[in-house]
A and B are shown apart, each in its own frame.
Chain A
């Protein structure tokens, strides 16, 4: 089983992002982390690898700082890691991103002379939450996609996946190769052991640039070639905070609150 996992580095999603004085998202003091859903994807891939056999390659499109995220992946189950980095890719939209990812996958396949059987993505990134990359990548590659996985099973020529739905789940089968996107399974991603962390630090991280990919189309990538353009960023209007009640006892607070709610006729 040859598995590719696509990850994105995002600002730590437990910290609220606001605009700075220049009107840009203020990410200065927020730690970059691997997108939560990508860590679930990697964990699912790692379990799959352990239950049969195979190798996991992780790719990340991003700047040099994303190497750290890739190192973290190497410590929790990935065997190989590549940073896809080129000034020409900056500010690409999802069409550009999936075009680059596809070509990077093809390049790795050609270099290793091994096709990927499964491509894992998170179901969405926690920053923009578009959820587009997985399905678009599948369409680009001309293969199937199953989204929102919470479990996966492998047979010789197909995967059987548990797709999370609002009311329960669906069992979906797809031919291999295919793309899968991962939601939050019942388990949590593993923590790296000290030993794995040390080993990961020594592993190389490959670099893939524009010129490494023979079939890439320059007119699909970068800021100049987006189909979706930002016009402006702003913060949603704030709701005004009302009253805060903190009486001597919780009972008094509760009674006061109910009185106010009754007065406001909300029930």
Chain B
């Protein structure tokens, strides 16, 4: 068993498409599989998921196991965990990758417990050291400290952070294998009876090239609109700190940071944001950071390319006007 070198990748889908991190995971999976001489085996579970399976097959998986049946139409953690456990027993992969989505973060520890498999969470980087050992990099203390860890069990489970790995550029096409997995009904403890979407807009912070974020320093909901205005002007996406969300100025889907989205835009503008670790650790991959804060000692300035010490409510309207002028002149 321990000589099985395959890397299994669980592909979560949303509205029939593989989620972004699923595609991203294929690149470290391929790297590991190549180094170990194994295969990348992706698993897609759902109903009518042939398109998703096709996309994964074309995105670098050697094999795509498609578990396609009406009973998998709706996500159920217990059922999906059972399906994955069955496949793991059959394939016996060395490593299972799971994307760091909300549901992925639940499935991983369940499987970890089922297999007594060591589990790495929020993996930001993966390397193989000189001795062939797989080394996972994970954040501690909100990202102020990084930890390299090894997993000694077989199999190993790793939950990969969304946005941390680039998608494979050019890839081969793998084969799709349809599979039936029978699960027992007594594995079901809990059921989702209703799913409510409170947010109609789609917010794609992770792929945004420009993000304008507002923090508690924006003061109130009305003034927070200036953040949205600047973002609109720059064709960007609006971000926010946790306090701005707790104040109700904007919905949670806009949260940037450790417990929100990890972002990597070309331009990040932080308005009235102090620069707490939990926020900063989510913006470190930004190319160019502009910060506006009235406190000249605010930690955000330590990571800003350009820091403006001043009242954000005075600075933002002028920036907006000035950038408008420049844009019009272009």
Evaluate contact between B319 and A254: CB separation under 8 angstroms: yes
Given known A-B contacts A132-B112, A227-B152, A257-B306, A168 and B147 have beta carbons under 8 A apart = no
Complex-state Cα separation, A164 to B322, whole angstroms:
40
CB-CB under 8 A from A95, the residues of chain B are 112-113, 116, 118
Evaluate contact between B306 and A143: CB separation under 8 angstroms: no
Task: Count chain A residues whose beta carbon lies closer than 8 angstroms to a beta carbon of B.
Answer: 80
Q: In residues 115-139 of chain A, which contact B (Cβ within 8 Å)?
A: 126-136, 138-139
Evaluate contact between B194 and A145: CB separation under 8 angstroms: no
Task: Tell which of A65-73, A84-92, A192-200, A234-242 binds the partner.
Answer: A234-242
CB-CB under 8 A from A266, the residues of chain B are 266-267, 287-288, 290
CB-CB under 8 A from A234, the residues of chain B are 145-146, 148
Complex-state Cα separation, A229 to B138, whole angstroms:
12
Task: Tell which of B48-56, B65-73, B119-127, B214-222 binds the partner.
Answer: B119-127
The 0/1 profile, CB within 8 Å of A marked 1, for residues 294-322 of chain B is 00100001111111111100111011001
CB of A161 to closest CB in B, whole Å: 9
CB of B232 to closest CB in A, whole Å: 12
Task: Tell which of B25-33, B39-47, B103-111, B169-177 binds the partner.
Answer: B103-111
CB of A169 to closest CB in B, whole Å: 5
Sorting the interface of chain B by its residue count into under 10, 10 to 19, 20 to 34 or 35 or more gives 35 or more
CB-CB under 8 A from B303, the residues of chain A are 239, 241
Question: Per a CB cutoff under 8 Å, which of B113, B194, B267 touches A140?
Answer: B113
CB of B259 to closest CB in A, whole Å: 8
Q: Is A255 interfacial (CB-CB < 8 Å)?
A: yes
Task: Tell which of A16-24, A40-48, A55-63 binds the partner.
Answer: A16-24
Given known A-B contacts A17-B145, A144-B78, A239 and B139 have beta carbons under 8 A apart = no
Does more than half of chain A's interface fall in helix, strand or loop, or is it mixed?
Answer: mixed
Given known A-B contacts A16-B277, A227-B116, A253 and B194 have beta carbons under 8 A apart = no
Evaluate contact between B194 and A170: CB separation under 8 angstroms: yes
Evaluate contact between A167 and B198: CB separation under 8 angstroms: yes
The 0/1 profile, CB within 8 Å of B marked 1, for residues 128-160 of chain A is 111111111011100111111000000000001
Q: Is A244 interfacial (CB-CB < 8 Å)?
A: yes
Question: Per a CB cutoff under 8 Å, which of A132, A168, A226 touches B197?
Answer: A168
Q: Is B326 interfacial (CB-CB < 8 Å)?
A: yes
Question: Per a CB cutoff under 8 Å, which of A11, A139, A148 touches B110?
Answer: A139
Given known A-B contacts A227-B151, A264-B288, A136 and B110 have beta carbons under 8 A apart = yes
Evaluate contact between B121 and A241: CB separation under 8 angstroms: no
Complex-state Cα separation, A133 to B110, whole angstroms:
10
Complex-state Cα separation, A14 to B144, whole angstroms:
12
Question: Per a CB cutoff under 8 Å, which of B121, B153, B278, B319 touches A257?
Answer: B319
Question: Per a CB cutoff under 8 Å, which of A18, A136, A168, A253 touches B144?
Answer: A18
Evaluate contact between A129 and B147: CB separation under 8 angstroms: no
Q: Is A111 interfacial (CB-CB < 8 Å)?
A: no
Given known A-B contacts A129-B122, A166-B102, A241-B304, A178 and B190 have beta carbons under 8 A apart = yes
CB-CB under 8 A from A143, the residues of chain B are 189
User: Interface centre among A140, A144, A243, A261, by most B CB within 10 Å?
Assistant: A261
Evaluate contact between A241 and B145: CB separation under 8 angstroms: no
Q: Is B196 interfacial (CB-CB < 8 Å)?
A: yes
Question: Per a CB cutoff under 8 Å, which of B113, B141, B234, B276 touches A267?
Answer: B234
Q: In residues 156-209 of chain A, which contact B (Cβ within 8 Å)?
A: 160, 163-175, 178, 184
Complex-state Cα separation, A39 to B280, whole angstroms:
24
Q: Is A54 interfacial (CB-CB < 8 Å)?
A: no
Q: Is A98 interfacial (CB-CB < 8 Å)?
A: yes
CB-CB under 8 A from B135, the residues of chain A are 231
Q: Is B150 interfacial (CB-CB < 8 Å)?
A: yes
Complex-state Cα separation, A204 to B46, whole angstroms:
52
Evaluate contact between B118 and A228: CB separation under 8 angstroms: yes
User: Interface centre among B150, B194, B278, B310, by most A CB within 10 Å?
Assistant: B310
CB-CB under 8 A from A231, the residues of chain B are 135, 148-150
Complex-state Cα separation, A98 to B302, whole angstroms:
39
CB-CB under 8 A from A261, the residues of chain B are 267, 288, 290, 306
Evaluate contact between A170 and B192: CB separation under 8 angstroms: yes
Evaluate contact between A178 and B189: CB separation under 8 angstroms: yes
Q: Is B140 interfacial (CB-CB < 8 Å)?
A: yes
Evaluate contact between A227 and B306: CB separation under 8 angstroms: no
Q: Is A245 interfacial (CB-CB < 8 Å)?
A: yes
Evaluate contact between B315 and A254: CB separation under 8 angstroms: yes
Q: Is A233 interfacial (CB-CB < 8 Å)?
A: yes
User: Interface centre among B144, B199, B234, B287, by most A CB within 10 Å?
Assistant: B144
A binding-site residues for B, Cβ under 8 Å: 11, 13-14, 16-19, 25, 93-95, 98, 126-136, 138-140, 143-148, 160, 163-175, 178, 184, 226-236, 238-239, 241-246, 250-251, 253-255, 257-258, 260-262, 264, 266-267
Give me the 6 closest cross-chain CB pairs, A-B, nearest first: A144-B189, A227-B118, A168-B198, A139-B113, A174-B190, A242-B305
A-B contact pairs, 6 of them (CB 8 A): A138-B189, A172-B191, A227-B151, A234-B148, A235-B144, A261-B306
